[in-house]
């Protein structure tokens, strides 16, 4: 059998890069999608190809651009002629206070977290069916419990959760569709950054009293990719954060 092929969106850095590394270690050929982080994506591909020659490629696309999303699907199939696993990991994350929300913020957060994932799944569905493949979506525990100050992001992730359930029905029995919902794994950057005191407050409301790691997410993706009788499920990898009572 040929090595399976995985496309991971937003895979140049952070959790996406860890997923790409873990998949490569487990025998996958990986397609590293990036938007702005092309240098980091190329460095990651060089790292993986140094360990396993011919195991990684980079594709660049703006997930806010419908044409580029369509081209990303075509370029994915042009890499190795097949796709076994689609990991919709790419995400924008920043606060959008209700009174200051803009159309641009709505489009950016909905497109990157939901719309691109939907149309990538649709475009790659036939190729995934040929491989009895998988789609795994990176959801968020805030898809179920809205994050204050982040209404558009929360709405987008709630849509991605329902997309996971809907596509599990639409694509059965040939393709399995599942989700992983991270809790406190990596602290956000830039305008979404949280102070050390805020980090401590979040972890105090997490049953395991500590942050998780990107490896926790990547291992759950690998688990779902290898399980042939699980579909339509979303696994929270959150240290019990979503169970914590207010």
Closest listed residue to residue 15, CA positions, set 232, 158, 244, 221: 221
Report the SS3 class of residue 35: coil
The 3-state secondary structure of 106-160, one letter per residue: HHHHHHHHHHHHHHHHHHHHHHHHHCCCEEEEECCHHHCCCCCCCHHHHHHHHHH
Are 143 and 154 spatial neighbours (Cβ–Cβ below 8 Å)?
A: yes
The catalytic position among 28, 153, 229, 244 is 153
Place of tokens 């997309």: 163
Sheet of 85-88, strand order = 56-60, 29-34, 5-8, 85-88, 134-138, 176-182, 234-237
Closest listed residue to residue 239, CA positions, set 205, 214, 215: 205
Is 153 labeled as catalytic in the residue annotation?
A: yes
Task: Give catalytic residues, as residue numbers.
Answer: 153
């Amino acid at each position: 059998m040929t090595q399976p092929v995985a496309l991971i969106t937003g895979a140049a850095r952070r959790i996406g890069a860890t997923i790409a590394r873990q998949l490569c270690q487990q025998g996958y050929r990986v397609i590293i999608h990036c938007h702005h982080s092309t240098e980091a994506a190329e460095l990651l591909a060089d790292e993986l190809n140094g360990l396993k020659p011919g195991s990684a490629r980079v594709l660049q696309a703006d997930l806010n651009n419908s044409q580029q999303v369509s081209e990303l699907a075509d370029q994915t199939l042009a890499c190795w002629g097949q796709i076994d696993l689609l990991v919709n990991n790419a995400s924008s994350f920043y606060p959008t206070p209700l009174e200051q929300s803009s159309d641009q913020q709505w489009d950016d957060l909905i497109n990157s977290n939901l719309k691109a994932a939907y149309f990538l799944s649709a475009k790659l569905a036939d190729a995934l069916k040929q491989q009895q493949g998988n789609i795994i979506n990176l959801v968020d525990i805030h898809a179920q419990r809205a994050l204050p100050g982040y209404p558009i992001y929360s709405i987008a992730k709630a849509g991605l959760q329902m997309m996971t359930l809907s596509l599990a029905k639409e694509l059965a029995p040939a393709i399995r569709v599942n989700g992983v919902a991270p809790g406190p794994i990596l602290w956000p950057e830039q305008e979404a950054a949280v102070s050390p005191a805020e980090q401590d407050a979040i972890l105090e409301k997490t049953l395991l009293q500590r942050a998780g790691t990107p490896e926790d997410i990547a291992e759950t993706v690998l688990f779902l990719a290898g399980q042939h009788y699980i579909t339509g499920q979303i696994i929270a990898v959150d240290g019990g954060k979503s169970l914590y009572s207010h």
